[in-house]
Amino acid sequence: MDILTLELFEVTVSEALREIDRAAEAHPDLPLRILLGSDRMLRHNVQRLLVRLGRQATLRQEGTGWRLDVAAPGQAGNAAPGQAGGAAPDPRGGSAVDPAPPPALPPLLVTRSHLGPDGLEMGRRLLLGVLRELDPAVPWLGLALGGLELLADPQALAVLEQIQARGTKVQVSREGLLFVLDPPPFEVMEDSQWQRLAGRGALTIL
What is the residue range of 47's domain?
A: 1-101
Mean of all residue pLDDT scores within the chain: 81
Q: What is the mean pLDDT of residues 27-31?
A: 88
Of the listed ranges 5-19, 40-54, 82-96, 121-135, the one predicted with least confidence? 82-96
In this predicted model, what pLDDT tens digit does every residue of 93-111 receive, in sequence order? 443 445 455 556 889 999 9
> At 75, is the pLDDT very low, low, confident or very high (cuts 50, 70, 90)?
low
Is the same domain home to 115 and 90? no
Q: Phi-psi category of 201—alpha, beta or left, where left has phi over 0 and alpha has psi -120 to 50?
A: left
Q: Residue 180 pLDDT more than 70?
A: no
Domain termination residue (choose one: 73, 101, 129):
101
Is the same domain home to 126 and 76? no
Whole-model pTM: value is 0.54
Q: In whole angstroms, what is the distance from residue 167 CA to residue 171 CA?
A: 13
The total of structural domains in the chain comes to: 2
Is the same domain home to 95 and 9? yes
Taking each helix axis from N to C end, the angle separating 40-53 and 13-26, rounded to the nearest 10 degrees, works out to: 30
CATH number of the CATH domain containing 21:
3.30.110
Is the same domain home to 96 and 2? yes
Is the same domain home to 86 and 116? no
Query: φ and ψ at 90, to 5 degrees?
Result: -65, 125
Is the same domain home to 63 and 151? no
Do 160 and 141 touch, CB atoms closer than 8 A? yes
